[in-house]
Amino acid sequence: MNLKLKQGQDSRLEVRDESLLKATAVTDKQPQRSRWEPHAWKQAAYLGSQRNMASNVEVVAMDCEMVGVGPHQESGLARCSLVAINGDVLYDKFIRPEGEITNYRTRVSGITRQHMEQATPFAVARLEILQLLKGKLVVGHDLKHDFKALNENMSGYNIYDTATDRLLWHEAKLSYCRRVSLRVLSERLLGESIQNSWSGHSSVEDARAAMKLYLISRQIRAR
């Protein structure tokens, strides 16, 4: 994929050609099947088949949930989900952060004390996640927070971020905004309501929403 951007577009949409490894699913449970509507499946299948036109870059969407750690409640990684371009789950694990959890942030994170009882240690999960991200275009919303939670420098990765794609904002008639949430973009462009569960956010749901927005962004640029 070699996207040529017009002046003013986010430069992080550029992708370098690389030889990539194919990801395998790694989860604490059976991989979740995508719940996309049929038309979205067809869209993903079409656009997924087009990704090899210029290169062999694979695409993976990531979303993480954090809890507060230590006396200052700094963000610690407590769940990470990765999904493929068709919505299939590649990775979905609860993760035990380093340090003492002082705020589960359950209303937003969906994380509870029970989730941590058999959670994967951070050091182990971090290596698993980075191996799956290696050489791929990483899709997400405000990914700087996810990479910070992973204790990883994102400058070495190819990134597509819905939080900085001004063309996507324009399509959603949100050009006047200083910041745009994943929830609002999903409502405007996907007609979907996310992050409205009483039990907190789902990182799988959010990763799938980011992937679908990425597909819409590709359609916009193909016009």
pLDDT at residue 30, rounded to an integer:
40
What is the predicted pLDDT for the residue at 194?
84
Block means of pLDDT (10 residues each) for the chain, 223 residues, are 43 37 47 44 45 58 97 96 96 96 93 95 98 97 96 96 94 91 93 75 92 95 90
- Supply the DSSP symbol for 6: P
Q: Tell me, what's the pLDDT at 199? A: 63
182's CB contacts (< 8 A; 6+ apart) are 141, 142, 162, 163, 194, 195, 206, 209, 210, 213
pTM reported for the whole predicted model: 0.76
What pLDDT does 28 receive?
Answer: 56
Query: What pLDDT does 200 receive?
Result: 65
Plot region of 95 (φ>0 → left; ψ -120 to 50 → alpha; else → beta)? beta
